[in-house]
Amino acid sequence: MSELASFHDVLFPPAVSFGATGGPERRNEIVALTSGREKRNARLAQSRRRYDAGTGIRSLEDLHDVVAFFEARRGSLHAFRFRDPFDMKSCRPQATPSPQDQRLGTGDGTNMRFALVKVYGEGADAYSRPIARPRPESLRVAVGGVDAGFSFDEEKAEIVLASAPGAGIPVTAGYEFDVPVRFDTERIEISITSFKAGQIPSIPLVEVLL
């Protein structure tokens, strides 16, 4: 039996992904109390992205590429890279990633490993999202505001610095990234007649943890 951990390090067709719809999903439980107040609990610690790539299909060539990609991944069996058209950088959409975009942690004189994250919001309410699949060519790291030598441990999604930063020195990073997803369906169904009439297929994708 193949495991979900089987990840194909290939990119979903970019031309299709940039027309996709979707975004983050949260799972919360909301219970109405007899007093009229609500009790709310988060069922998941991390958000999960869901997309529909069907809205990105513009031609029969696009559909052909997606079907071929679906077959090569064996449907929902293997995960893969997906470029989120709305959120794929450590910075704002129109900016260029800088090595000081995201704070990964603070040096203590011994630690050389820092998990790659993207922070949403500020202060105590900020949400720190783990980033598992940065684009290697875009990844830049700074220690105390100065570019630093590093490698990236893909298995643990951690930056490995060439030397341990001193106590209190900030470690930051900038990057572009992809989202690890799988097909959230076991089939892709469409007819040539409906496609020519403008009816697009539904191609659901769901984020997976690696």
**pLDDT tens digit sequence for 36-74:** 899 888 888 899 999 999 989 888 888 889 999 999 999
**Is there a single domain that holds both residue 98 and residue 77?**
no
Same domain, 166 and 102: yes
Together in a domain, 170 and 100: yes
Is the domain of 190 the same as that of 210? yes
- The pLDDT assigned to 66 comes to 92
b/e string for 144-169 if b means 16 or more Cβ within 10 A?
eeeebebebeeeebbbebeeebeeeb
Grade residue 2 by pLDDT with cuts at 50, 70 and 90.
very low
| Shared domain check, 80 and 20 | yes
pLDDT at 197: 58
Residue owning tokens 């930056």? 159
Same domain, 77 and 94: no
Dihedral, 127, 113, 172, 129 alpha carbons, nearest 10: -20
Residue-number span of the structural domain to which 118 is assigned: 89-175
- Which tokens in the block code for residue 58? 């513009």
Provide the terminal-to-terminal Cα distance of the chain, rounded to the nearest Å: 18
Is 142 found in the same domain as 119? yes
Amino acid letter for position 199: Q
Based on the fold, state whether residues 1 and 79 are members of the same structural domain.
Answer: yes
Which percentage of the chain shows pLDDT scores above 70? 94
Beta pairing, strands 79-82 & 7-11? parallel
* Count of the separate structural domains present in the chain: 2
The predicted pLDDT at position 210 comes to 85
209 and 155, same structural domain?
no
In this structure, are 124 and 97 located in the same domain? yes
pTM for the full predicted model: 0.89
Range with the lowest mean pLDDT among 121-125, 187-191, 193-197, 201-205? 193-197
Reduced to 3 states (helix: H, G, I; strand: E, B; else coil), residue 142 is: strand
171 and 197 assigned to the same domain: no
Please give the average per-residue pLDDT across 121-150, as a whole number.
95
Kindly state whether residues 159 and 96 are assigned to the same domain: yes
